């Protein structure tokens, strides 16, 4: 099975964490929660979820994971100022493996400098930021561009999670299993 990183900080959108997390774990995948500081307990903005950060993003290599997921809420905005998380996201994008962000999650992708030339979706208030960073924004449930998977809002979670699972193919992959066509364009 695959090993998947979720990056979180306080004020994440509870359902945008829980829905994909449960879908991936339910399919037998291993999930590790990363953030600014290992051992920190972060809470969802709606107060339904609380999660302990298992490892600091700065202490992990992108090559350790088969996919990376960025839930929305205010968490991505908080993580934009964490150099370790930004580096991990940037390095992960270069692997060509599935990189998924929902709602405000693309804010972290903008900070990592990996959206130029990509077709993406997001929460509507992130649209102009994506366009200014060189992405093409579309209003649809899921947008897939190479290895990049984006969705708009909590109502899109089933399609978002299903797309991540489809991209993983139900099993862990070696780095050379990812097709060259899925590699991100050079910045």
User: Any idea which residues carry the catalytic annotation?
Assistant: 103
Q: Cα separation of 80 and 90, whole Å?
A: 12
Q: Cα separation of 107 and 75, whole Å?
A: 10
Task: Tell the residue number behind the tokens 């580096």, with chain if given.
Answer: 87
- 3-class secondary-structure state, position 90: helix
Q: Cα separation of 92 and 108, whole Å?
A: 12
Instruction: Assess contact for 111 and 57: CB atoms under 8 A.
Output: no
């Amino acid at each position: 099975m695959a090993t998947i990183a979720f990056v979180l900080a306080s004020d994440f959108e509870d359902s945008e964490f829980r829905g994909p997390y449960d879908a991936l774990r339910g399919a037998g995948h291993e999930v590790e929660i990363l953030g600014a500081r290992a051992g920190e307990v972060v809470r969802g903005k709606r107060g339904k979820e609380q999660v302990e950060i298992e490892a600091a993003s700065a202490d992990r290599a992108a090559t350790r994971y088969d996919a990376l997921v960025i839930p929305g809420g205010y968490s991505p905005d908080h993580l934009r100022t964490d150099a370790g998380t930004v580096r991990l996201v940037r390095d992960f994008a270069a692997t060509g493996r599935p990189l998924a962000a929902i709602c405000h999650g693309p804010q972290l992708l903008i900070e990592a400098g990996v959206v130029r030339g990509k077709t993406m979706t997001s929460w509507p208030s992130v649209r102009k930021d994506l366009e200014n960073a060189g992405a093409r924004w579309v209003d649809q449930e899921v947008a897939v561009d190479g290895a990049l998977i984006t969705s708009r809002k909590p109502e899109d979670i089933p399609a978002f999670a299903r797309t991540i699972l489809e991209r993983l193919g139900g099993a862990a992959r070696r780095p050379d299993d990812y097709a060259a066509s899925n590699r991100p364009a050079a910045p």
